[in-house]
């Protein structure tokens, strides 16, 4: 256990270096890997003018404030952002659908890093835009790949990331506002499967490569409630899940630390095992 925690701690430090652009290498004496020998998979869509948001939300905007050479003879650039908490690749904090639960700044870091598994249901979802990932999909995965370890981060691969950033293909509609919300068609996780993951596998978090962990036609958002009411955070609009193995990789999901936030932009990466 201590070795595992030390490994994850060194990964978090290295991930912070990766996100901030600072080069650093995990020490072999203090970790179980050399960072520069590891393959990093970015599971985050870039934020830009084509970022997909919920039909009732305002679009992401990057507003240029400065981009010029100054009187002091140096170049200066600075922008301002406008974005919803729940647009693009983002986290749903427990309070999003459960009163009194954790806000995004209250989620313990140990709940945002850990062992990941990738459950691929792209074939099922290719034939049904309203597909609900069931307990049977998860147990079928376990028959082939082994039991999901307790305290894992489960990532659901519906194959929908390939449609990004086409709103029509990704969401099933280009309509906006309440009309657009009613016209959504994309896969999600069945509420019973969500409750099973919490009860039987004690998961840390669940992620998906669609706009919501509930399927597009949901009106009660029961899957959100099943997870978030137990302080199990949700990661939505993930990218590049096809680049991950079925299991044996680590996940580092670091959201913007917004005081009182119900969610926020998420930079999430995965580190598959190095080949030796």
- Among residues 227, 234, 171, 168, the alpha carbon closest in space to that of 199 is found at 227
Q: Is residue 252 part of a domain?
A: yes
Residue 273: pLDDT band (50, 70, 90) is confident
The residue to which tokens 């749903």 are assigned:
92
Q: Is residue 60 part of a domain?
A: yes
Q: Is residue 139 part of a domain?
A: yes
How many domains does the chain contain in total?
Answer: 1
Handedness of CA 199, 204, 208, 213 (dihedral sign): positive
Cα separations in angstroms, 213 against 9, 118, 131, 174, 249: 28, 15, 12, 20, 22
Residue span of the structural domain in which 251 resides: 39-271
DSSP conformational letter for 27: -
Q: End-to-end CA distance of the chain, in Å?
A: 23
Kindly tell me the number of DSSP H helices and DSSP E strands found in the chain.
Answer: 7, 12
Average pLDDT taken over every residue of the chain: 91
Distance CA 145, CA 118 (A): 10
Q: What pLDDT, on a 0 to 100 scale, did the predictor assign at position 11?
A: 57
Summarised one tens digit per residue, pLDDT across range 174-202 is 999 999 999 999 999 999 999 999 999 99
CATH number for 172: 3.50.30.50
Does position 28 have pLDDT exceeding 50, yes or no? Answer: no
Q: How far is CA 149 from the centre of its chain?
A: 19
Enumerate the H helices of the chain as residue ranges: 2-20, 122-126, 135-145, 167-171, 177-182, 191-201, 222-228
The stretch 108-119 carries a mean pLDDT of 97
Residue 48 CB contacts under 8 Å (≥ 6 apart), including other chains: 60, 62
Q: Is residue 4 part of a domain?
A: no
Q: What pLDDT, on a 0 to 100 scale, did the predictor assign at position 24?
A: 44
Q: Is residue 212 part of a domain?
A: yes
Does position 91 have pLDDT exceeding 50, yes or no? Answer: yes
Q: Which carries the bigger pLDDT value, residue 11 or residue 184?
A: 184
Summarised one tens digit per residue, pLDDT across range 40-61 is 999 999 999 999 999 999 999 9
Summarised one tens digit per residue, pLDDT across range 232-247 is 999 999 999 999 999 9
Residue 145: pLDDT band (50, 70, 90) is very high
Q: Is residue 105 part of a domain?
A: yes
Distance CA 17, CA 252 (A): 12
Q: What pLDDT, on a 0 to 100 scale, did the predictor assign at position 6?
A: 52
Does position 13 have pLDDT exceeding 90, yes or no? Answer: no
Both structure tokens of 51 = 């970022």
Distance CA 175, CA 119 (A): 30
Does position 63 have pLDDT exceeding 50, yes or no? Answer: yes
On whether the CB atoms of residues 250 and 271 are closer than 8 A, the answer is yes
Q: Is residue 18 part of a domain?
A: no
Distance CA 225, CA 96 (A): 9
Integer Rg of the chain from CA: 19
């Amino acid at each position: 256990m201590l070795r595992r925690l030390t490994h994850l701690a060194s990964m978090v430090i290295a991930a912070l270096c990766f996100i901030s652009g600072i080069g650093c290498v995990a020490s072999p004496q203090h970790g179980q890997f050399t960072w520069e020998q590891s393959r990093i998979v970015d599971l985050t869509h870039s934020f830009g003018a084509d970022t997909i948001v919920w039909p009732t939300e305002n679009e992401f905007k990057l507003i240029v404030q400065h981009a010029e050479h100054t009187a002091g003879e140096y170049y200066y650039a600075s922008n301002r952002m406008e974005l919803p908490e729940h647009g693009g690749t983002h986290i749903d904090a427990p309070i999003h659908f459960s009163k009194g639960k954790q806000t995004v700044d209250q989620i313990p870091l140990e709940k945002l890093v850990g062992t990941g598994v990738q459950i691929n249901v792209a074939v099922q979802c290719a034939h049904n835009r309203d597909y609900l990932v069931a307990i049977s999909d998860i147990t079928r995965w376990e028959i082939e790949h082994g039991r999901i370890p307790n305290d894992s981060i489960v990532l659901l691969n519906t194959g929908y990331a390939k449609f990004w950033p086409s709103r029509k293909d990704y969401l099933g509609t280009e309509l906006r506002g309440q009309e657009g919300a009613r016209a959504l068609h994309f896969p999600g996780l069945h509420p019973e499967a969500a409750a099973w993951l919490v009860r039987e596998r004690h998961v840390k978090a669940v992620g998906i490569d669609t706009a919501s962990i509930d399927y597009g036609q949901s009106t009660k958002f029961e899957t959100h409630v099943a997870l978030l009411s137990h302080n199990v955070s949700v990661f939505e609009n993930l990218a590049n899940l096809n680049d991950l193995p079925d299991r044996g990789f680590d996940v580092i999901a670091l959201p913007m630390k917004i005081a009182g936030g119900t969610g926020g932009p998420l930079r999430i990466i995965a580190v598959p095992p190095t080949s030796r």
